[in-house]
Chains A and B, each alone.
Chain A
Amino acid sequence: MNRESPLENTTPSIRLRGVGKSFGGVSVLRNVDLDIPPGVIHGLVGENGAGKSTLGKIIGGYYSISEGSMEAFGESADPWTPKDALDRGVAIMHQELQLVPELTVAENVFLGIEDHRLGVLSGTEAERLMPIIKATGFEVDPSAKVADLSIADRQKIEVMRALARSAKVIVMDEPTSSLSANETQKLHETMQKLRASGGTVVYVSHFLDNILEVCDSVTILRDGDLVRTAPRENESKDTLVSAMLGGGRSEISFPEKSRLKERRTALEVRSLSSANGTRDASFHVDRGEIVGLIGLVGGGRTEILRAVIGADKSTGGDVLVHGEPYPNRSIAESNRRGIVMVPEDRRKLGLIMTMAVRTNLTLPHLPSFATPLGRILAAAEKSKARDAIDHFQVKPSDVDGDILNYSGGNQQKVLLAKWLLRDPEIVILDEPSRGVDVGARRRIHEAIAELASKGAAVLLVSSELEEVLGLAHRAYLVANGGVFDEFAPEGKTEVDVLRSLFRLQQQPPEARAP
């Protein structure tokens, strides 16, 4: 382990100049200038999608930069792969820990850098681990199997793994999202020990209290732009939240909210729980109403949607559709009853990238374009598909084009069109406008508003607060898999909502499954 203290020299550990990053033409980070000095804990904060995680991954070598330059310890960081980063003393701890569960703590720490003679392991890992344990003060058994350890202990292993490779900078990306308050406290102590021994921690988190508790300095990002970098003493929760949201962000206008005269409950969820983390969730959506679920990433929003539609098994509670109980839910049965879910992540969950626009559009509705024996009626299918892409203004407007060749915004329109093809009565939308340009977003918002005005019940999840407040008639807050605090968006500012959300999220999850 490198025990040299770099405190004397003033070269920053990490220096970014004009750094930008785009994915497939969509810019997610722009013109970032940042110096992170040695021996500090530096926080990165921002809303969902502001670019904080991207910035962390750039520092760790997981993403290459599209523009600008980066230096590590005063030397150019180019090329900068995860291996380059590690060789030069920069390690990243992932949200999903990457450990081998069947190996011991010591074996995991020295994975890939074991002592060996001609490939035969010397088995000295446990001894080599002792100085690291001593330096960090971690209480872990070097011979314990990783599979038997808690998540907090596993994070310690990740930290030690970085130290075993002489890391001087460790990027931690949302390390506390699955930790209890007690475990979070321990991780913070770990960070402070690292700092005391001259190390630098880049702490990416949406838990503002955590950031304020341990960080020496904070960088705030908003929509891919760096708002400011400031010492911790200058910041409070209020200043952070205001900076994260920005002042006049009203360039997007939303379609008018219409209301049906008669209010009838279309979807009612009572005390729904599921194995995937939904806990005692209750809410309802009326016909013609758009209801938002607002929560942080990892707060259990998607899991609630999946339990409602029947993508995941529920373990308790009821779902009522138009007042009738709907037990034993499945996607196919929901689809048959006019309940559809537009999933997040169009490439992974929404569309089949090897197929054409037309075949993607009609996939859930095949029986209505086929004879009872299953022969597809090509003309009927084609004309319905053409109507759908005309309605959503998909470009290019070729129904037989490969979906792979369409832009993100147009793919997203196709995804929406796919689920709205047969005028469903209950529509569940998970991040309906993620990663699309302004024009496509506008068209998608219109489609959602139109859907409600025609009498559909819409349940909307979006990481963009502005979108939920702009579209929804009512909204609920979601945290730790539960649904809380119903409110009307009128008159609410994003700051208000975010503040309540951070308060909710901060409450310790009592009944969390082990």
Chain B
Amino acid sequence: MSWDRYRVARFFQTYSVLVMIAALVLAMSLLSDSFLTYRNILNILNQNAPLAIMASAMTLVIIGGGFDLSVGASFAVAGVCAAWVALNVDPYIGLLVAPLVGLALGAINGIVITSLNVHSFLATIATSLVFKGAAIVVSDGRLIPVRLDDFTWLGRGKIGGVFIAVIVMVVFALILSFVLKRTTLGRKIFSVGGNEEAAVLSGIRTDRVKIATFAIAGLAAGLAAAISVSRISMGQASAGTGMELQAIAAVILGGTSIYGGVGAVWRSVAGVLLLALINNGFNILNADPFFRDLTTGIVILGAIGISVAGRPR
């Protein structure tokens, strides 16, 4: 009997995000003509490409049993570094620097967590403060405007009518999906999050696996920052604040277990889409923004409830 309950919970964990999106799309298209248009949908995807990239990588961290609260701060550091390098060295190198800076910061997170053996939650709260401080130092507390076409193409350009940012996001999510499902690293991430002790006894070097997930989360934050800074042609140390929580919320909405061991990248992207649709719906309907936060919060609470119900005992 408990198995049946487990199966039902597993089903909801897997597909509830799609059901919610479908319901929302249906309701919105009935309420407004301007919702279900190619332009509006593409805009939603484009606006949320950076968040979707970060949520995709956060999925790996959470499946591996961790949390990364520093990706918003990594985003800020990578963004100001990109703008500074673009302005002082070369715009293309600037765009390239952002993901590399993010990768380095993520790797630092992983090394701190595994060598001090502290919970990632705690460690990344601390490192996020350090990173935020670093972002202010790099930018000298000022905005760094970069009005160069060689820099803004990534965030604003289109190929064949589709935003480059959307293409980058889709490719990145597909790559991470592949890593998670079809590679040894992905398998190890599932095992570490599912049962770390058993993974250790299976000969998995769990520390390396954890460092890899945090490095990937950092890389994603840097990539997202490159797109974002390029789009607004401005590096600023305060960028990215709160994005870590939105990314985590999207992952949980997608049904990835907060206890680790269960989840998928595509569902986190769907989670971002769901959050974005709620937002967009409120804008289109001109509804009171108070109800927007209320609605988003209730939807996330529901997703957490489903996540807890599916926890294996």
Contact = CB atoms under 8 A, between A and B. Distances in A.
Interface in A339-371: 341, 343, 348-355, 359, 363-364, 366-367, 370
B157 to A, nearest CB: 31
A354 B184 contact: no
Contacts of A269: none
A402 B184 CA distance: 19
A352 B195 contact: yes
B182 A355 contact: no
B184 A332 contact: no
B203 interface: yes
Contacts of A335: 202-203
Interface string B190-205: 1101110111111111
Given A404-B6, A405-B3, A350 B198 contact: yes
Contacts of B187: 359, 363, 366, 376
Nearest to A24: B2
Contacts of B188: 366
B190 A370 contact: no
Contacts of A152: none
Contact of B199 (A311, A363, A374, A402): A363
Contacts of B201: 311, 331, 341, 343, 349-350
Interface residues of A, number: 30
Nearest to B190: A355
Contacts of B161: none
Interface string A255-270: 0000000000000000
Q: How would you classify the secondary structure of chain B's contact residues: helix, strand, loop or mixed?
A: helix
Contact of A332 (B194, B197, B205, B257): B205
A363 B188 CA distance: 8
Given A367-B184, A375-B182, A375-B183, A354 B202 contact: no
Interface string B117-143: 000000000000000000000000000
Contacts of A348: 195, 197-198
Contacts of B197: 348-349
B312 interface: yes
Contacts of B200: 311, 331
B270 interface: no
B261 interface: yes
Nearest to A359: B187
Contacts of A379: none
A354 B190 contact: yes
Interface string A418-446: 10000000000000000000000000000
A343 B203 CA distance: 12
A1 interface: no
Nearest to B183: A374
A375 B184 CA distance: 6
A378 interface: yes
Interface in B228-247: none
B202 A331 contact: yes
Nearest to B200: A331
B25 interface: no
B198 A354 contact: no
A370 B198 CA distance: 21
B185 interface: yes
Interface of B: 3, 6, 10, 182-185, 187-188, 190-191, 193-195, 197-205, 257, 260-262, 312
Which 4 A-B residue pairs are closest in the complex by CB-CB distance? A354-B261, A354-B194, A332-B203, A352-B194
